[in-house]
Amino acid sequence: MKSIKGPGIFLAQFAGDEAPFNSFDAICRWAASLGYKGVQIPSWDGRLFDLKRASESKDYCDEIAGVAASHGLVVTELSTHLQGQLVAVHPAYDAAFDGFAAPDVRGNPAARQEWAVDQVKRALTASRHLGLHAHATFSGALAWPYIYPWPQRPAGLVETAFDELARRWRPILDHAEEMGVDVAYEIHPGEDLHDGDSYEMFLERVGHHARANLLYDPSHFVLQGLDYLAYIDIYHERIRAFHAKDAEFNPTGRQGVYGGFQPWAKRAGRFRSLGDGQVDFGSVFSKLTQYGFDGWAVLEWECALKSPEQGAREGAPFIAAHLIEVTGKAFDDFAGSGTDEQANRAMLGLDRA
């Protein structure tokens, strides 16, 4: 068994225009002061990271790693959640997602998709320059508007959507193979890859590609009513990244999974800061450790009630308290009798006439 690394923190929800959140050096100093050991970088945020330079210059990546190291940190992963979303966008969401793209490709879905593919490929190249082995992203979605089968879906609609999703991602996955970096899809509502079955539909279509892997975030499974511990049992061989995020689901007589169009604070299912929700993190860390996951436990703050600053302050010690130092011995070694093969055969009665 191997030990999980941590605590790490995803910087996306903290980056801003004011210090200490407006530069990579300053935000690293802040994260380190709270006890974090690693940072996951949102590759789209130019205040913290220049993706184009990172994809073209290992020297720049060495500078980024050096800044992190000066504060006792390492870069855990790069993220292209926003760009990955744009690899596949249903027309119903064109306007909503256009803001994720560079200004010169907005309003042009074909150009936006081409830009998004290039962005993810650049992030995979930059990951290699940084010496990283996993990359966090979203799959995007073509079938999501049809998630509920009413009106009845035409025969073959979902299959066609997944065929196209796989076609778009296959060149990216092949580039990931060339870079030696795993693509870790965050299984997430709003993405076509939102649970185990949908991931398997995609995996089959990309030929069970070795680089088509998973980012595990139990909070999204709480809100779906999916068994997030059994999920680890099923997919542990594909889990390459881990967002530590809490959630709670408290259905009422008025509201359930769909939330009744209510704001986050009033939803039956809502994200919470670590320790404030219903995720059994003791079991999560135990199962991931049991299966040998040695990636980073990365805080992703998304709470309907608590401030990001408080969530970050409390997140580092919470993760640290759940990290397991893997044992190098069995608890009952003291009772070993030191028997050998001959003694074992005798105990089993195998040498009796």
> pLDDT (tens digit, 9 = 90+) per residue, 72-106?
999 999 999 999 999 999 999 999 999 999 999 99
- What's the pLDDT band for 137 if we cut at 50, 70, 90? very high
Is the pLDDT reported for residue 289 higher than 90? yes
- pLDDT tens for 60-71 read 999 999 999 999
Is the pLDDT reported for residue 335 higher than 80? no
pLDDT of amino acid 116: 98
- pLDDT tens for 201-260 read 999 999 999 999 999 999 999 999 999 999 999 999 999 999 999 999 999 999 999 999
Count Cα neighbours of 65 within 13 Å in the Cβ-side half-sphere: 16
**Which residues, other chains included, contact 64 with Cβ-Cβ below 8 Å and sequence gap of 6+?**
24, 41, 49, 54, 75, 130
| H or E segment to which residue 259 belongs | none
Question: In the block, which residue shows the tokens 């030929």?
Answer: 207
CATH number listed for the domain at residues 5-347? 3.20.20.150
Q: Show me where the domains of the chain are located.
A: 5-347
- What's the pLDDT band for 334 if we cut at 50, 70, 90? low
- What's the pLDDT band for 346 if we cut at 50, 70, 90? confident
| CA distance readout (Å), 281 to 9, 149, 287 | 16, 33, 10
- pLDDT tens for 266-275 read 999 999 999 9
More confident position, 345 or 255: 255
pLDDT of amino acid 181: 99
d(CA 68, CA 279): 30
The candidate with the shortest Cα–Cα distance to 318, out of 353, 344, 284, 294, is 284
- pLDDT tens for 5-20 read 999 999 999 999 999 9
